[in-house]
Amino acid sequence: MIPSRWLPEGLRPPLLRLAGIPVGAGTRIEHSVFFKGGRVRIGEGCYLNSATIVDPGSASVEIGDGVAIGAGAVIAAATHDLGPSANRAAANRSEPVVIGTGAWLGARVVVLPGVTIGRGAVIGAGAVVTRDCAPDASYAGVPARLLRELDQGSGGA
């Protein structure tokens, strides 16, 4: 399901709700955001920038309140097991993804299956998140690594 650029922004969340995806009040969803499947829950006051892909597979994706997701991010709860050389992308496998309240994912961040991103975490642009991220911490890189812990207050370190 792709909320079209021609569809007014205010209509995108209600239409997603009609399609079975709970979207909290005050959440903004830009055009060209793709939801592959319905096991997604989006909290209140979130922002999903354009070209974001959310793929829960047969698991789920939970996006907490106040989460900001940059353009082109990929949140993938679905993957494949590694198979023999004749078929490396073997059986499908899904593990839930959780993005904690207040987290901020930069542009083109990739979140892989089974990952929990803690409350208030910041993930730098282009990072590939392969493991859980602690609350109120900053991560970047491929794979994403802890850069520093963040102040739990408003901004600053």
Domain count, the chain: 1
DSSP 72-134: T-EEE-EEEEE--TT-SEEEEEE--EEE-TT-EE-TT-EE-TT-EEPTT-EE-TT-EE-S-B-
- Is 1 a member of any domain? no
Q: What's the whole-model pTM score?
A: 0.91
Q: Catalytic site residue 80? A: yes
CATH of the domain at 120: 2.160.10.10
- Is 157 a member of any domain? no
Average pLDDT over every residue of 139-155: 91
Q: What pLDDT score was predicted for residue 38?
A: 72
Q: Report the distance separating Cα 52 and Cα 110, nearest Å.
A: 10
- Is 3 a member of any domain? no
Span 28-55, pLDDT tens digits = 999 899 998 779 999 999 999 999 999 9
Q: Nearest Cα to 138, choosing from 117, 154, 153? A: 117
- The residue from 80, 88, 131, 145 that is catalytic is 80
Residue span of the structural domain in which 112 resides: 9-149
- Is 131 a member of any domain? yes
Residues counted in the chain: 157
- Is 83 a member of any domain? yes
Q: What pLDDT score was predicted for residue 134?
A: 98
